[in-house]
């Protein structure tokens, strides 16, 4: 496990960038952390490393966003999803087992659909000063 301290938003983006530099086609990244922890911020860094110019956003009702870059990036946000059945209806497995890089917020909702090997990124907001502690498992940085 790698543990990185990120005092600012730009530091969180840098962690995403480092992840984006080493992922390969088919990589699945589960982003864990409470509301506002910095999950989407990590995705912004990954997108930057994949030469994606389009800004990464979190529109309220979009569950899956696709971005074209050095590798395709699938940004899946399951916050509003209520069941694994819904994920299956959306065709989530096609993204999880596709040739792009798949990054998922609130992924615990579809854990049973996951491939055996995936990268786990857990973001913790330190209560003292809001610094983020970011733990990464399943990937050597
Ligand atoms: N290391 C950091 N230090 C301070 N603020 C940060 C840090 N990383 C990210 N932020 C800020 O936290 C806020 C929330 O970030 P972000 O939208 O990425 O969180 P999220 O986990 O995706 O939230 P949600 O659960 O709503 O999807 C943003 O304003 C972002 O700039
Ligand atoms: Mg988010």
Q: What average pLDDT score do residues 78-90 get?
A: 85
Residue 95 has pLDDT above 90, yes or no: yes
Q: How far is the CA of 38 from the centre of ligand 1 (A)?
A: 3
80 lines ligand 1 (CB under 6 A): no
pLDDT of residue 82: 84
Report yes or no: 123 and 13 within 8 Å, Cβ to Cβ.
no
Q: Where are the domains of the chain?
A: 2-137
Token pair of 13, please? 């983006």
| pTM exceeds cut of 0.85 | yes
Q: How far is the CA of 117 from the centre of ligand 1 (A)?
A: 26
- Mapped onto helix, strand or coil, the DSSP state of residue 24 is coil
Residue 89 has pLDDT above 80, yes or no: no
Count of helices and strands (H, E) across the chain = 4, 7
Distance CA 45, CA 18 (A): 8
Distance CA 29, CA 27 (A): 7
Ion ligand 2 neighbours (CB, 5 A) are: 39-40, 58
Distance CA 27, CA 25 (A): 6
Residue 44 has pLDDT above 90, yes or no: yes
Substitution candidate for ligand 1 out of 3, 29, 37 with most atoms within 8 A of CB: 37
Q: Which atom of ligand 1 is nearest to the CA of 77?
A: 27
Among the four given CATH numbers 3.40.50.300, 3.30.70.20, 3.50.50.60, 3.40.250.10, the one describing domain 2-137: 3.40.50.300
pLDDT of residue 15: 98
> How many Cβ atoms are within 10 Å of 85's Cβ, its own excluded?
9
Q: Which atom of ligand 1 is nearest to the CA of 31?
A: 21
pLDDT of residue 64: 92
pLDDT of residue 37: 98
């Amino acid at each position: 496990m790698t543990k990185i301290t990120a005092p600012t938003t730009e530091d969180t983006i840098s962690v995403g960038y480092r992840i984006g530099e080493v992922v390969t086609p088919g990589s699945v990244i589960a982003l864990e952390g409470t509301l506002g922890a910095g999950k989407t911020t990590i995705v912004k860094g990954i997108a930057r490393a994949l030469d994606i110019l389009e800004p990464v956003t979190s529109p309220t009702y979009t569950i899956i966003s696709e971005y074209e870059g050095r590798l395709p990036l699938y940004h899946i946000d399951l916050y509003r999803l209520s069941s694994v059945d819904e994920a299956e209806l959306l065709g989530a497995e096609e993204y999880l087992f596709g040739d792009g890089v798949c990054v998922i917020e609130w992924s615990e909702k579809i854990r049973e659909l996951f491939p055996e090997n995936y990268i786990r990124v857990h973001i913790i907001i330190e209560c003292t000063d809001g610094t983020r502690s970011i733990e990464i498992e399943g990937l050597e940085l």
